[in-house]
Amino acid sequence: MIKDLSPIDKAKYVAACRAADLVQDGMRVGLGTGSTAAWLVRRLGERVRGEGLTIKGVPTSTATAQLAREEGIEVISLDQAGWLDLTIDGADEFDGEFNLIKGGGAALLQEKIVATASDQMVVIADAGKEVETLGAFPLPVEVIPFGWQTTRTLIEEALDTMDVLGTSVTLRMNGEAPKVTDEGNHILDLHLKRIGNARQLALVMNQIPGVVENGLFIDICDKVIVGYGDGRVELRDLNEGTVLTDMLSEGGDNLFSDLTD
């Protein structure tokens, strides 16, 4: 299978496979949203069907919930789970301190709630998502529909006082209509180019009336699994300060061997 994938899809696939190996029988697992997370859900489905793996999945979007059910994964709500052993999700950007920008799939609210209700959060991403400084990817901010234009104006005014390079704010569209999240809200994308102080920006954004949540994930992620187009995959542990490098075999879908610590 892996040899038939494009380099970018191969990178996502190997990261997802490596992350799936972290899931143990009986775990309650947060399932992320997006193209990389979809590979994870499919791989977990393979383990459920092939190995008899028993897990309870808490999806972060209706799309992920549907895919998980199709793959034979038991789906429960976060309220039913109470607390999660692990959440695995993608990211639009991550920096050296494992701070993230998420929300490209418009699921940032559920993603942040699920991630913070977990013993640990693992991010899976291709190498292109790593940045020195966050901000090249537009920062999503979820806002309620009522008075969203006023909220946008307040955001623009706040950005004038922030350490960012850009202050353009656009409403995310779905064809001719605004994009609607699973919670019935809108998404404003902040085109900042560079975020000098992500922690400060996250706090300021969430103080603005009409803002539900922002796509900056600060001090939430514990591990990042980075996939490469040649089949290499790195597991980086922020708390341990370690990097494990593995290789996915061309001859099998899930044959890893440790190469370096």
- Tell me the pLDDT tens digit for each residue of 106-135: 999 999 999 999 999 999 999 999 999 999
> Is 90 annotated in some ligand binding site?
yes
Mark out the alpha helices in 21-147 (DSSP H runs).
35-51, 62-70, 78-81, 108-116
pLDDT at 250: 55
> Is 56 annotated in some ligand binding site?
no
pLDDT tens per residue, range 9-18: 999 999 999 9
Query: Among candidates 141, 120, 132, which has minimal Cα distance to 211?
Result: 141
Q: Which residues neighbour 227 within 8 Å (Cβ) at sequence distance 6 or greater?
A: 10, 11, 12, 13, 14, 15, 16, 18, 124, 125, 126, 127, 233
Active-site residue flag, 111: yes
Q: How far is 164 from 78, CA to CA, in rounded Å?
A: 35
> Is 104 annotated in some ligand binding site?
yes
pLDDT tens per residue, range 203-220: 999 999 999 999 999 999
> Is 105 annotated in some ligand binding site?
yes
pLDDT at 73 over 70: yes
**Secondary structure element (H or E) that encloses residue 142, with its range:** strand 139-143
> Is 103 annotated in some ligand binding site?
yes
Q: Output the six-digit token pair for 114.
A: 């699920």
Q: Is the pTM of this model over 0.85?
A: yes
Angle in degrees, CA 13, 19, 25, rounded to 5: 125
Buried b (16+ CB within 10 A) or exposed e, 227-256: bbbebbbbbbeeeeeeebebbbeeeeebeb
pLDDT tens per residue, range 27-36: 999 999 999 9
Angle in degrees, CA 40, 45, 47, rounded to 5: 100
The DSSP bridge partners found for residue 171 are 188
pLDDT at 259 over 80: no
51, 70, 93, 111: the active-site residue: 111
Q: Which residues neighbour 203 within 8 Å (Cβ) at sequence distance 6 or greater?
A: none
Domains of the chain as residue ranges with CATH: 2-131+219-247 (3.40.50.1360), 139-212 (3.30.70.260)
C-beta of residue 68 within 8 angstroms of C-beta of residue 59: yes
164-185 mean pLDDT? 98
> Is 210 annotated in some ligand binding site?
no
Provide the pLDDT confidence category of residue 4 given band limits of 50, 70 and 90.
Answer: confident
